[in-house]
């Protein structure tokens, strides 16, 4: 994330620190306006259904209110209001000339720190901050410095002193953040002044990468589309469905061998930064909940057997495999730690020759494999179906192999693998678990097609106060 929200006292230091290492982004940012026209008062439209601004604001606030970035954003907004309130009480004003002097001083420090390679303007551009926005923050910082110096009785105050002053004034201000004690559209209150959720969201989103902002909007559009699909089949996402679908997802996740030992709430918290209730309210979860409810309508019981026969390669035969991994890489950054791919191939070929001469595969795994997870487990890496074996790059080889056969070496992003087919079992008979999986895959296929064909439009520039880039 390129925008770091910090109290005004340390902003100049952050700029100095970043100026030595930051480089402008070379990737083209996506446009904030695209697709079909979006009606006023909305940020997006999909198949004539809008995503209204208030709904968007509530979703973003709910998603980020407890997130580190969101907490820092709200703190910055509160600090600005605390500084402004104390300026007013003291009759203090900061002139444009005062701000210009500090701006020029910072520019000189950045030029010195970078041997003239950068200026304050280039650093602001790299950080996605407009000059006007920074000057406003610099005005607050200048006021903070003066008030701290006066209250501490010395001119040479340190950033730590300014932080201490802000903390003290924040406690005196009796900041209110508890949503149950605030109006519905407020994110916080200080000195009787409300910081609205809209203020919070605009401040937050204006400094997130555009790609991340668009992902938020698209997630809401996808939720809307999934609801449209469910309703077209006579279904509705009811509040009572939320916990039931969540429990189904949790059971499915925690029974999957790939995630053995992980709890679903912990996984979501680590990956998405959300607790269970925030996750349930998110657009992404609600989309999946709609698809879970839609799935049985797309594959009813009477057609499940036919669908299974048509898609049997997803389920069997089931191949259990073990491997020996010889790591390699042709990336320059890996060359100190890893051999080249060519050298990895030579090493794997030597091991294959030893195996053909009768060396035990189990012993070879212990001696040569560079996969620490499976090295002392006989090299066993799990089960594959024809489809997943093809995706892994060895579908043709494993389909022709007899149980106990060794084949390879086969290259992937890690290096070269030598595989052994440990067992081969026929596709399992149709059961409830497979039916549930058939249905979910059908729902996701239908959703992908609907998303591709939907009439979509996004327009965020007017909400964020930016110029249209369409």
pLDDT per residue as tens digits for the range 310-320: 999 889 999 99
β partners of residue 44: 51, 458
- Domain tally for the chain? 3
**Which of 236, 251, 216, 253 has its CA nearest to residue 289?**
236
Is the alpha carbon torsion for 394, 398, 403, 406 positive or negative?
negative
pTM score, whole prediction: 0.75
398 occurs within a structural domain: yes
Residues 324 and 413 in one domain: yes
Residues 379 and 265 in one domain: no
Residues 167 and 244 in one domain: no
Residues 306 and 329 in one domain: no
Q: Which residue has the higher pLDDT, 382 or 257?
A: 382
Q: For 367-392, what is the mean pLDDT? A: 91
Report how far residue 217's alpha carbon sits from residue 63's, in angstroms, rounded to the nearest whole number. Answer: 12
Residues 42 and 111 in one domain: yes
Q: Which residue has the higher pLDDT, 21 or 200?
A: 200
**Is residue 293 within 8 Å of residue 237, measured between CB atoms?**
yes
- pLDDT band (50, 70, 90) for residue 403: very high
- According to the model, what pLDDT value does residue 230 have? 96
Is the alpha carbon torsion for 271, 277, 283, 289 positive or negative?
positive
- According to the model, what pLDDT value does residue 379 have? 94
Q: Which residue has the higher pLDDT, 46 or 258?
A: 46
- According to the model, what pLDDT value does residue 83 have? 93
What phi, psi does 390 have (nearest 5°)?
-65, -45
User: Can you give the CATH number for the domain in which 330 is found?
Assistant: 3.10.50.40
Q: Would you say residue 400 has pLDDT above 60?
A: yes
26, HSE (Cβ side, Cα atoms, 13 Å) = 1
- According to the model, what pLDDT value does residue 260 have? 65
13 occurs within a structural domain: yes
Residues 43 and 192 in one domain: yes
Residues 155 and 79 in one domain: yes
Residues 287 and 359 in one domain: no
Residues 159 and 25 in one domain: yes
Highest-confidence segment of 158-167, 170-179, 418-427: 418-427
**Is residue 323 within 8 Å of residue 417, measured between CB atoms?**
yes
Structural domain containing residue 234: 210-311+432-464
pLDDT, one tens digit per residue, over 49-60 is: 999 999 999 999
Q: Would you say residue 409 has pLDDT above 80?
A: yes
Q: Which residue has the higher pLDDT, 220 or 470?
A: 220
Residues 107 and 129 in one domain: yes
2 occurs within a structural domain: no
414, HSE (Cβ side, Cα atoms, 13 Å) = 16
- According to the model, what pLDDT value does residue 466 have? 63
As a whole number, the mean pLDDT across the chain is: 87
- According to the model, what pLDDT value does residue 155 have? 87
- pLDDT band (50, 70, 90) for residue 181: very high
230 occurs within a structural domain: yes
Q: 8 Cβ partners below 8 Å, 6+ apart?
A: 79, 80, 83, 137, 138, 140, 141, 144, 162
Least confident stretch, 246-255, 279-288, 430-439, 459-468: 459-468
Residues 110 and 74 in one domain: yes
């Amino acid at each position: 994330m390129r925008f770091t929200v910090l109290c005004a006292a340390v902003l100049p230091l952050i700029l100095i620190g970043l100026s030595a290492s930051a480089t402008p982004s070379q990737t083209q940012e996506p446009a904030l306006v695209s697709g079909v026209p979006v009606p006023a008062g909305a940020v997006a439209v999909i198949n004539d259904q809008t995503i209204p601004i208030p709904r968007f604001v509530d979703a973003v606030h709910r998603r980020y209110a407890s997130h580190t970035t969101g907490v820092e954003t709200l703190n910055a907004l509160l600090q600005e209001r605390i500084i402004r309130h104390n300026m007013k009480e003291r009759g203090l004003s900061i002139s444009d000339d005062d701000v210009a002097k500090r701006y020029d001083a910072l520019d000189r420090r950045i030029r010195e720190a970078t041997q003239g390679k950068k200026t304050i303007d280039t650093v602001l551009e790299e950080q996605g901050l407009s000059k006007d926005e920074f000057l406003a923050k610099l005005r607050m910082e200048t006021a903070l410095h003066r008030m701290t110096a006066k209250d501490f009785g010395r001119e040479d105050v340190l950033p730590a002193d300014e932080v201490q002053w802000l903390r003290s004034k924040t406690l005196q201000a009796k900041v209110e953040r508890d949503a149950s004690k605030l109006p519905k559209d407020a994110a916080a209150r200080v000195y009787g002044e409300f910081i609205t959720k809209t203020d919070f969201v605009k401040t937050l989103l204006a400094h997130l990468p555009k790609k991340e902002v668009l992902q938020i909007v698209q997630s809401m559009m996808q939720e809307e589309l999934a609801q449209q699909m469910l309703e077209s089949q006579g279904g509705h996402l009811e509040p009572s469905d939320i916990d039931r679908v969540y429990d189904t997802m949790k059971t499915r996740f925690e029974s999957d061998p790939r995630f053995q030992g992980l709890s679903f709430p912990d996984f979501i918290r680590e990956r998405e930064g959300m607790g269970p209730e925030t996750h349930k309210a998110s657009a992404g979860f609600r989309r999946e909940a709609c698809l879970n409810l839609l799935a049985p309508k797309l594959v009813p019981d009477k057609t499940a057997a036919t669908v299974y026969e048509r898609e049997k390669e997803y389920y069997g035969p089931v191949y259990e495999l073990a491997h020996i991994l010889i790591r390699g890489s042709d990336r320059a950054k890996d060359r100190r730690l890893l051999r080249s791919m060519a050298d990895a191939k030579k090493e794997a070929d030597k091991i294959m020759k030893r195996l053909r001469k009768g060396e035990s595969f189990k012993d070879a795994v212990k001696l040569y494999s560079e996969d620490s997870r499976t090295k002392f487990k006989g090299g066993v890496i799990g089960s594959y179906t024809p489809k997943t074996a093809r995706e892994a790059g060895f579908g043709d080889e494993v389909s022709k192999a007899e149980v106990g056969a060794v084949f390879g070496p086969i290259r992937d992003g890690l290096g070269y693998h030598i595989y052994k087919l440990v067992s081969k079992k026929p596709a399992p008979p149709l059961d409830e678990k497979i039916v549930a999986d058939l249905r979910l895959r059908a729902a996701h296929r239908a959703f992908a097609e609907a998303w591709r064909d939907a009439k979509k439009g996004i327009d965020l520039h007017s909400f964020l106060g930016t110029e249209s880039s369409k």
